[in-house]
Amino acid sequence: MRMALTLLVLCVFCAGTASAQPYAYVTNNGSDSVSVIDVSTNTVVATVAVGLEPSGVAVSPDGKFVYVTNAGADNISVIQTSDNTVIGTWDGGDNQFINPQGIGVSSGPNGGVFVANSGNKGTPCSSGYCGVSACPPWPWGPNTFCGGWGLGPDGEYTISPLNLAVIPGEYPTVYTTNPTENNVSVTSWPIPSFATTPSGFVSVGKAPVGIAVGQVGESWYIVVANNGSDNVSIGIADTSGNLTSFSESVVVGKGPWGVAIRPDSQFIYVTNSGANNVSVIDISTFEVVATVVVGGDPSGVAVTPDSKFVYVANSDSNNVSVIDTSTNKEVDVVGVGAYPAAIAITPDTDLDGVSNGDDTDDDNDGIPDSMETATTQTNSLNSTRNEILEGTDGDGIPNERDLDSDGDGIPDHVEAGGNNDKNSDGIADGFIDADGDGHNDAHDTSQGGTLPPLPDTDGDGAPDFLDRDSDNDGISDSNETVGCLDADNDGLLDNAVDANNDGLADSVHPETGQPCALLDTDRDGIFDHLDGEDNRHGSSSCAIASSTASDVSFPVYLLIPAFILIARLWRRRTN
């Protein structure tokens, strides 16, 4: 009989070895260990002893920690990726974890570690044992007490979840699969409020087990593997994660178990445990376009950050299949421990080939991560508000992986004083990384580069790239540009939809919109958002859009006065 296993819900998000490439972490349920696979060579580079019957696994978005649920020990092992050592064993406080299975991690000011507890059904959550545990992320743990919620009437723990998936954001949305109820629970939950109950239950197929979430355009897709009905349910949530129904059902192989959505949002991969194969679903048509034969009893599945390879844990074969996504063929098999269950792959946000845990500039904006992760800052537009920098603009994306940390529409690189982003996409141009640390040599001082100066124009302690009113004149930076719309003057773009989740809104991204034009109204060589005396009020001068750090389209309407003058001169000449 199949053991209760879990899978990686989504990894689009290193080990202490010579390579900084992403790594796959595989839980070996039968040998109480985790195998670490270097995906650049498909070799096991470490085996880490954890607790009894490890089941679920998730990697922190910064790539520094791996969380493993030990179903047989009712606890969680925390692995440090820099040297692949267990640095803590976490019971959640008062032995809260009961047969923990699925696990997910979300960053941001209200993020945390979320765990599906499949055991002890029937105990009220008020007694300390909840269907879903919600814990502050490492390094707050492992002795930090976890809160949570029950999956039943009045928050009671009357439903046993198996797996979960998390949509990140200022307030994460958590989905759990409930096999005995044939449904999925939906909960939006901000830490540290522990009194939350599910906002709803959505029906799916029979015995839902695996679940994955992924962003496709402006929507979030939720995919559920229904083990008892040999199909997957696909739901589409809005940008806030709200989901009311699953609109698509796709027939796959026998006994579907694991699910993964490719980071480039083109395909879904489903492991069919009873058919020993993987179904490949085209997201654009919701049709199975390929079936890939793998090992025995495939369960967990994950895709590399660059979307090039799929890794499948074959429980009965004690190995991992590697599938080339360009051909949908198995191209390698890696032996691991006994009864591999789940897989998580370390993230590489900027796809530079260096895993976040080893990358000193996760988003390739030229600003070292160490300069984007200070403790607090003050927003000049609201001096009473003290914000945690892991999500300065409240979008749930930590600043070191956010190309526009303050959400004003002006890329961090530009506001940090950089001049190496010609197309205003927020990424420093001409990436070369001789020492393999993930930092563009142009800005890596160890390679002779120059760091962006990180100016703090108004001297309030917040560097301009984290300050929505850099010159402290009461006008948001957004409103002192052309194209960054901010009607309420709160410093945040009104249209902040960010389909690729890089922190730079689609409306000002060069590939999907129009970058903001920086103004120098009084022509003194200082952009208006940095100039407290730009003569914007009562000035008869014509606003001039100029650019130094980025090439932006010149606003045609600014040439209207010149067109009028030329027309008048021409009429006089012809008359």
**Dist CA 425 CA 407 (whole Å):** 14
Q: What are phi and psi of 190, to 5 degrees?
A: -95, 130
Q: To 5 degrees, how large is the angle CA 342–CA 343–CA 348?
A: 155
Cβ contacts of 538 within 8 Å, gap of 6 or more: none
Residue identified by tokens 């809260």 is 96
Query: Would you report the helix, strand and coil content of the chain in percent, each value rounded to 5?
Result: 10, 35, 55
Render pLDDT for 301-312 as a digit per residue (tens, 0 to 9).
999 999 999 999
CA distance 107 to 423: 28
- Residue 555 class from Cβ within 10 Å (0-12 exposed, 13-18 middle, 19+ buried)? middle
Q: What DSSP string runs through 17-52?
A: SS--S-EEEEEETTTTEEEEEETTTTEEEEEEE-SS
User: Please, which pLDDT band fits residue 560 given cuts at 50, 70 and 90?
Assistant: very low
Q: 156: domain CATH number?
A: 2.130.10.10
Compute the mean pLDDT over every residue in the chain, rounded to the nearest whole number: 83
Buried b (16+ CB within 10 A) or exposed e, 162-193: bbbbbbbbbbbbbbbbbbebbbbbbbbbebee
* pLDDT of 321 strictly over 80: yes
Whether 368 shows a pLDDT value over 90: the answer reads yes
Task: State percent of the chain over pLDDT 70.
Answer: 78
Residue 474 has pLDDT above 50, yes or no: yes
- Calculate mean pLDDT across residues 41-65: 95
Average pLDDT over residues 320-326: 98
CB 145 within 8 A of CB 123: no
- Whether 479 is covered by a domain: the verdict is no
300 three-state secondary structure: strand
Q: Residue 575 falls within a domain, yes or no?
A: no
Task: List the beta strands (DSSP E) in 189-315.
Answer: 200-203, 208-216, 219-226, 231-237, 246-251, 256-261, 267-272, 277-282, 287-293, 298-303, 309-314
Note whether residue 61 is domain-resident. yes
How confident is residue 147, by pLDDT bands cut at 50, 70 and 90? confident
Q: Virtual CA dihedral for 285, 8, 217, 464, nearest 10 degrees?
A: -170
Answer yes or no: is pLDDT of 17 > 60.
no
Strands ordered across the beta sheet of 65-70: 54-59, 65-70, 75-80, 85-90
Residues 309, 447: Cα–Cα separation, whole Å:
32
Euclidean distance between CA atoms 31 and 358, whole angstroms = 28
Tell me the pLDDT tens digit for each residue of 88-97. Answer: 898 877 667 8
pLDDT of residue 203 exceeding 80, the answer is yes
Instruction: Confirm whether 427 is domain-assigned.
Output: no
Which strand (E) or helix (H) includes residue 324? strand 319-324
171 confidence band (pLDDT: 50, 70, 90): confident
Tally of structural domains, the chain: 1
SS3 493: coil
**Domain-located, residue 8:** no
Strands 163-167 and 147-149: unpaired
Asked if residue 519 is part of any domain, the answer here is: no
Range of the domain at 165: 23-345
**Mean pLDDT score, 173-190:** 88
What's the pLDDT at 540?
Answer: 34
- Tens-digit pLDDT profile for residues 251-298: 999 999 999 999 988 999 999 999 999 999 999 999 999 999 999 999
User: What residues contact 10, with CB distance under 8 A and at least 6 apart?
Assistant: 104, 165, 212, 213, 214, 260, 261
Residues 161 and 102 sit within 8 Å (Cβ to Cβ): yes
Rounded Cα–Cα distance for residues 386 and 132 (Å): 30
pLDDT value at residue 153: 61
Identify the bridge partners of residue 319 per DSSP, sorted by sequence position.
314, 335
What does the block give as tokens for 524?
Answer: 């003194």
Using the predicted structure, report yes or no on whether residue 345 has a pLDDT greater than 50.
yes
User: Quick count: other Cβ atoms within 10 Å of Cβ 388?
Assistant: 15
22 prior amide bond cis, ω within 30 = no
What's the mean pLDDT in 25-36?
98
Is residue 555 one of the residues assigned to a domain? no
Report CA dihedral (323, 327, 328, 333) to the nearest 10 degrees.
Answer: -30
Q: Considering only CA atoms, which of 73, 71, 77, 60 is closest in space to residue 11?
A: 60
Asked whether the predicted pLDDT for residue 193 surpasses 50, the reply is no
Residue 340 lies in a domain: yes
User: What pLDDT, on the 0 to 100 scale, is given for residue 158?
Assistant: 67
Find the range with the poorest average confidence among 263-267, 294-298, 384-388, 437-441.
384-388
